[in-house]
Amino acid sequence: MSAPLPARFPRIVLVGRPGSPALAEPLVRLARFLAERGHAVALESETAVLAMQPELPAVDAVALGAAADLAIVLGGDGTMLSFARQLAPHDVPLIGVNQGRLGFLTDIPLARMETALGAMLDGRYVEERRTLIAATVERADGSREHALALNDVVVNRGALGTMIECSVEIDGRFVYSMRADGVIVTTPTGSTAYALSAGGPIVAPQVPAFALVPVAPHALTHRPIAVPDNSLIAIAISHGRDASVHCDGQAHFGLTEGDRVALRRADHRARFLHPHDHDYFAMLREKLHWSETPERIRGIK
């Protein structure tokens, strides 16, 4: 007797971190677990090569939005960022299974994957929607390039090592000019990434804000600024022979003097599902070792 078709998420696509042979066995195990529950399971095309399961259909990455009701990502935050950007316009939710590294978006431990996912697929989950940044690189010659970012957009110096000079506008109003290694514009999601190491604030996911975080500014009076996420932010390069802009560290564009990076809230948001007992601040305590002594972090009693 075949398993009944599940009411929630009948079509699930599995995505694995590229170049991670250790994920082959968990991927196969998870595919079997989901199929036994009655879900139609497919593998993202690169993941299919990793799992080597020819009996499962493979879906090209660009077709995931139309082929899935849910995507489960096994790996790390980098893999999650890539597919969250891709699936946001299609309103497909994602669940993250952590490969064992520090992960703020992939919050289910691999060791209890089936237990946690079983409960979530039975309806015991919480949902978060995360804001993305739509970035447009406006060239001095009039050409434009576009990219999305879930974590952050970083304008910074290049390999030559000299500071860049840039000016920042918000909603068409001049805010400041700055000499620095760069500036980070981060979403709440990205506030625990590069922006945090540069001295930026942690912004809870429910806060509708972007933060602008200078990187090693020449003037020590430059400080992070939080602005409403419906703001239009523009960063213009006034001097910098080797500047560049990076979106989530995955899309990269070179910049020259006179180029401008325009940033706004994207039209679509990413959807993430978490276990029903998910607690954002408990996650921060665990990942950032709050209230831990160095001895306890090293496991010394």
* Among the listed residues 161, 202, 196, the one whose alpha carbon sits nearest the alpha carbon of residue 182: 161
Output the CA–CA distances (angstroms, integers) from residue 22 to 18, 96, 117, in the order listed. 11, 17, 20
* Among the listed residues 248, 283, 199, the one whose alpha carbon sits nearest the alpha carbon of residue 88: 248
Asked if 98 and 78 touch (Cβ cutoff 8 Å), the reply is no
Cβ-proximal residues to 49 (8 Å cutoff; 6+ apart), any chain: none
* Spatial separation of the C-alpha atoms in residues 27 and 51, rounded to whole Å: 6
Instruction: Give φ, ψ of 143 to 5 degrees.
Output: -75, 160
User: Which residue is catalytic, options 77, 152, 248, 259?
Assistant: 77
- Active-site annotation holds for 259: no
* Spatial separation of the C-alpha atoms in residues 185 and 211, rounded to whole Å: 6
* Residues labelled as active-site residues: 77
